[in-house]
Structure formats: structure tokens, C-alpha cells
Amino acid sequence: MKRWKRMAVMLSIVILAGELPSSSEPLVVNATTTQQQIKDTEQEKNELENQLNETQEDLEDLKGEHKSLKGELNNLNEQLTEVSSHLEELEQQIKDKEQEIAATQAALEEARATESWQYKCMVIRVRDMYERNDTSYINALLDVGSFSDMLNIADRFEKIADYDQRKLKEFKENRILIEEAEATLQREKIELDNLKVAAEAEKNKVAGLISQTANAISKYADQIEDAEQKARDYEEKIKKKEEDLEYLRKKLAEELRMSQAAANATWRDISEVNFAEGDRYLLANLIYCEAGGEPYEGQVAVGAVVINRVLSSMYPDTVVGVIYQKSQFSPVASGRLELALANNKATQRCYQAADEAMSGVTNVGNCVYFRTPIEGLTGINIGGHVFY
């Protein structure tokens, strides 16, 4: 028995290497039925299409938000341009105002100096007239030759004094006007400074909104990219499901054709079959993989399907050939049969079912396929399988 187990494992590996479908070919799982696979695949395809529709709706929403934010960003940029332009104008006005203030202050200093000079001149003349004896006002009057000359001298001194008083008043009023102008300019500059502070605050606010909006746009752009990639993935999956469905539909049609052809094909008698050493071990472990949890009748039925194929001219004429025929029994493709063979997982009942099938016993007639029952598929129902 140990020798056979090693031979069976090696034989299985060799056959698997040549018979297993490629990774790109949809896996045919006999126990779940091709029709059931079609139904499941169609349901999966519908779910993917629904997910794709939801993703596309989300994508449209994201694109709408993205477009709206772009419009908002354009408006903010226009606002920033306006605020920046206004700020530049205020800065220029402040600069001009500072120049005006500087000029006014210079004029004020000049007016003050002129007023001071005029006052000093008047003081000097007054002091000269009243303190110097040779040129004093009294001596001048006493030295005149006539009353008429005295009046002329008095008038001249009065005009000088009047001129001094008038000029002093004029310079003083001019100084006051310049001081008022300076005060006005200083107030206007303060107003401009306040406007500049407000404009800078507005500029910073708009710049902050631009930064936030730009970040939001970037975020939405990333989400849009993710959604588009997600949609592409769904489209690829849907395409793959469509390819699987096309394959499965062709496989089902071929399966039904083979089932009908097998019924009409030439059949050998069980006595004509020469079983090889290890066929019982191989068949029992296949029965374990396919129907280990089924009632005994179901285990016999699975064995009978294998033997029916051996007897039919439509299939290989050996147990090994039938079991390892490409894409026929799922435990072969999945590797479960290899594990079962390596550890002799088959139960005593599985061996008993294999013995009955190999002796020609069949409880499913000439059926060459089995699968889980599905609506519309008629056949012989035993346990969790329908045989046809």
C-alpha cells in the first residue's frame, strides 16, 4: 500500500503538470455545476456593475465639487488681485502723504524761522529807537526844524512799527495755517495706515481661503483619481466576469452536448475493463473529496459517474485518465485530491463505494455528470447532488 501511495502521488503530479488549466482559464468546478457557476458569475457581475454605477455617481459628484471649487478659486484669485491692487494704491497714497507731510514740515520750519527772524528784527528796531540816544525817537523829534518835519518823522516811525506788526502777524498766521495743514496730513496718514492694515488683513484672509481651496481641490483631485482607478478596476473585473461567463456558457453547452453524446455513444461492459493497481485507492480518495460528507448512496453515485465515463467511448478508458482529464473534477485542479492521496483520507465507506462502482453497480444509470441541484436542471437527485 505504501508503494502504491507513492506511485499515485507521483503519477498525479505528472498528470497534473500536463493537464491542469492555466491560471488565465476560468476554473471548472464540477461539484458546484457549470450552470451554478454561470448564475454566481452573473450575480457577481451584476454586483460589480452596481458598484461601478455607484462609483461613477460618486465620481460625478466629486467632479462637480472639484469644478465648483475651481470656480471659487478663480473668484478668490480675482479678489486677491483686487485687494493687492488696492493695497498697492494705499501704499502709494501713504508714500505720497509722507512726502507731503515732509514738505509741509519743512515749510513749517521755514515759517517758524521767518516768524522768529521777523520778531527779532522788530525787537532790534524797537530797542534801537528807544534805547540809543542819538537815534532815539525823542531825539529825532527834538532835532526837527518844524512841526511838519516832526509829523513826517512820527509818521515814518509809525509806518515802520505798523509794518513790523503786520509782517509779524502775517508770518504767525502763515505758521498757523501750515501747522493746521500738517495736522490734517497727519490725520489723513493715520486713516491711510488704518486702511492699509485692513487691506493687509483682507489680503491675508483671501490668501488663506485660496490656500484652503487649493488644498481642497488637491484633495478632490486625489479622490477623483482614486475613484477613476476604482472604476477602471471594476470595469476590468466586469470584463473578466464577462469572459468567465462566455467561457462557462460555452463549457455548459459543451457539457450538455457531451452528456447527450455519451448517452448515445458506444458503451463497454464492466467485464471488459481491466482496472490497474491503485485504481481503487485513487477512486476512493476522489469519492472522499467529492462526496465525503454525502450519504453512502451519494458516494456510490460519484463512483458510478467515474466508471460510466470509463465505459463510455466519449471519455478515456481508464480510471486515471477519466479522473485526471483536463478541467473535469475540481479536487484535481484545487490540489485537494493530491493531499487526500498523500494522506489516504478516504474512509472505509469511500472504499466500499469505490468497490461497488468498480463492480458495475450504478444507482444513477448512465449519468456522466453531477453537480449541486439548480433550477431547470433535471436528473437523479441524491443527497446534495443532481446526476445526469
Parent domain of 144: 58-235
pLDDT recorded at residue 126: 63
* Amino acid at the residue 210: I
pLDDT recorded at residue 33: 61
CATH number at residue 319: 1.10.10.2520
Position 329 in a domain: yes
Do 300 and 198 fall into the same domain?
Answer: no
Confidence of residue 14 (pLDDT cuts 50, 70, 90): very low
Statement: residue 3 has pLDDT above 80: no
Do 284 and 368 fall into the same domain?
Answer: yes
Do 15 and 89 fall into the same domain?
Answer: no
Report how many domains make up the chain. Answer: 2
Task: Sort residue 153 into left (φ over 0), alpha (ψ -120 to 50) or beta.
Answer: alpha
Q: How far apart are CA 139 and CA 134, in angstroms?
A: 7
Do 170 and 296 fall into the same domain?
Answer: no
Position 223 in a domain: yes
pLDDT recorded at residue 167: 77
Do 90 and 219 fall into the same domain?
Answer: yes
Question: Which DSSP helix (H) or strand (E) runs through 28?
Answer: none
Statement: residue 326 has pLDDT above 60: yes
Question: Which DSSP helix (H) or strand (E) runs through 304?
Answer: helix 296-311
Q: How far is CA 141 from CA 106, 130, 131, 157, 286, in A?
A: 44, 12, 15, 11, 157
Position 248 in a domain: no
- What is the chain's Cα-based Rg? 57
Position 178 in a domain: yes
Do 25 and 128 fall into the same domain?
Answer: no
Written as nine digits, the cell of 370 is: 453531477
Rounded mean pLDDT, 213-231: 88
* More confident position, 288 or 57: 288
* Dihedral, 281, 283, 286, 292 alpha carbons, nearest 10: -90
* Average pLDDT in the chain: 81
Do 101 and 223 fall into the same domain?
Answer: yes
Do 310 and 220 fall into the same domain?
Answer: no
CATH number at residue 206: 1.10.287.1490
pLDDT, tens digit, 9 for 90 and up, residues 24-72: 333 333 434 666 777 788 888 898 889 889 888 887 888 898 888 889 8
Which of 287, 276, 273 minimizes the C-alpha distance to 341? 287
Rounded mean pLDDT, 122-146: 60
Do 188 and 107 fall into the same domain?
Answer: yes
pLDDT recorded at residue 138: 58
Which of 365, 169, 192 minimizes the C-alpha distance to 267? 365
